[in-house]
Structure 1
Amino acid sequence: MKSLSIGTASQESSRFLRREAGLLVPVALLFTGIPVALLLHAIPPSLRQMTVAEKAAENVTLPGSALILLFFCPLLVLVGTLTTY
Structure 2
Amino acid sequence: MELDPTTMTPVVNRIKRARGQLDGVLRMLEEGRDCEDVVTQLAAVSRALDRAGFAIISTGLQQCLTAGDDLDSVDVKKMEKLFLSLA
Q: TM-score, normalised by structure 1?
A: 0.47
Higher RCO by CA contacts (8 Å cutoff, separation 6 or greater): 1
Whose Rg is larger?
1
- Provide the TM-score with structure 2 as the length reference: 0.46
